[in-house]
Structure 1
Amino acid sequence: MTDTRAGRWLLAVVALAAVALVVVTLTAAPHEDRTWRSFLTSSQAGVAVLFPVIGILAVTSEWSQRTALTTFALVPDRRRVLGAKVAAGVVLALFGVVFGLVCATLGRAVAGFTDRGAGTWSIPGSMLASVLLAAILSIILGVAFGVLFLNAPLAIVALFMVPSVLGILSDLVSAMESVNRWVNPGPALDPLYDTGISGVEWARVAATMAIWLLTPLAVGTYRVIRTEVH
């Protein structure tokens, strides 16, 4: 995730996006929306979009760069390799949220100093936990698609194209609108970036993750374990 050129550039883009979106919130958002909580939500947009790509590259790089034989010769149990990458993803998600919180704090401080902020210095602990959960799910979602396809371009296209198609269908067909909220990871994960998530919204998170994370991860893990390395 960090020792390849693509990984480093993606992490740099995530960091720059966090800073840029905090600045945009500070300068362009309505005065009442320039709260500490809003700054945190803005800082996580890059995490939500790009962390799945980092998760994909963490898995597919071995197969695309023909280093799988070296990796699995050093650690024959491929499940340990995948487990280590999932654990690394969780750690990276934590760093992403911490960095976003730092950016949000600086943005709120500048807003208060220049009389451009509103509200109090408060972010509910439940929101911090749900934002961290969203970051973790985003990166493991990428890992799941990576092990399913073992091909970075194909996994990235599938990860972004299918939800987009579902969103378009929900806009064109009214009957698809309610279905989209239960099967599309984008709308399902959006409430995690706000406070007061309801039981129905938690159920939607669980349903979409069963479709988009658990199923591809299980199938992909079986595929990695059984695939011959040449």
Structure 2
Amino acid sequence: MSTTAHTELIRGAAEGGPADSAGPRERFTAPSLARLTKVELRKAADTRAGRWLLISAVLIAAVVAVARALSGDVADRTFAGSLELTMLPLGILLPVIGILLVTSEWSQRTALTTFSLVPHRDRVAGSKILAALVLGLAAAVISVAMAAVGNIVGIVATEADGSWSMSASTLGQALLGQELNLLMGVGFGLLLMSPALAIVVFFALPTVFTILGSMISSLEKTFEWIDPNSAFDPLTDGSMHGDDWAKLLVCSLLWVGLPLAAGLWRLMRREVK
């Protein structure tokens, strides 16, 4: 990250007065949020781990799309069916990239450099969140492209149904689920500030809630409102209806909003070494 420096000469008085002997003076202006977001997107692919995670996500999505087109029930080999499957690997790997995005300053010990160049930590955090949202949108575009390729393969190579029918609502719900899952990873990363710990907690804690909800029958209805897996799952196939939206809102506040807010609070107060 760098700060744009503009050099401004201090001129003399308007009517030939003596020039200021101070000479040139540098005025520093903070980089725009768009520029910081661009930097964060580049950083997401700069590290070996981030680069291979992105490559792996795309390759796995492509393999899943083709496998779906060549196997399974012929009636289910449609664009919508392929898209549902291609978004699954991206939904698993992208939150990990989001975690690495917000923990890199602490794991690579570059926080001092970053916050010296951009002292306003809220701007840095905002750019990281925006970068994560852009990655989520890019992942959705890739999922659509891979699903389209898989559907074409199914039509050409097999007797697949090959239907391209898909409502805008279903696509929007899938994108919303992708973004919420990614923001959840970012929130855990900001809160814990350790990539390994954040990744473990991100995958383990919701799984524990799901297991408890299935084991304790008396709390099954309660866990439907606080278990992120049960609340987010209907988004993947566009089957949200009725109180599913209320459950999604509650779980989003608990699992996305709360970690993000607590993580930002901790970021603003953590000592940089």
Which bracket does the TM-score occupy, shorter chain normalised? over 0.9
1:196 CA displacement: 4.2
**Which residue in 1 is equivalent to 2:216?**
173
**Which residue in 2 is equivalent to 1:81?**
124
**Which residue in 2 is equivalent to 1:30?**
73
Contact 1:149 1:220 in 2 (8 A): yes
Contact 1:19 1:43 in 2 (8 A): yes
Determine whether 1:104 maps to 2:137.
no
Distance 1:89 1:77 in 2: 19
Count residues in correspondence.
230
Unpaired segments of 5 or more residues in structure 2?
1-43
Q: Which has the larger radius of gyration?
A: 2
The letter of the residue matching 2:128 is K
1:119 CA displacement: 5.4
Distance 2:107 2:257 in 1: 24
Unpaired segments of 5 or more residues in structure 1?
none
The letter of the residue matching 1:175 is S
Distance 1:93 1:14 in 2: 12
Q: Which has the higher contact order (CA 8 A, sep 6+)?
A: 1
**Which residue in 2 is equivalent to 1:227?**
270
1:8 CA displacement: 0.7
Deviations 1:145-179 (A, max 9, x none): 01100011111111111111112222222123323
Considering fraction of residues, name the structure with more helix: 1
Distance 1:23 1:176 in 2: 40
Structure 1 runs (4+) deviating above 4 angstroms are none
Aligned with 2:197 (options 154, 158, 168): 154
**Which residue in 2 is equivalent to 1:200?**
243
**Which residue in 2 is equivalent to 1:190?**
233
**Which residue in 2 is equivalent to 1:39?**
82
Distance 1:195 1:163 in 2: 21
Between 126-135 and 77-86, the greater mean CA deviation after superposition:
126-135
Percent identity for Structure 1 against Structure 2: 42
Between 167-176 and 13-22, the greater mean CA deviation after superposition:
167-176
TM-score by length of 1: 0.95
Distance 1:205 1:60 in 2: 27
TM-score by length of 2: 0.81
| Gap change, CA 1:29 and 1:176, over 3 Å in 2 | farther
Aligned with 2:175 (options 132, 148, 154): 132
**Which residue in 1 is equivalent to 2:135?**
92
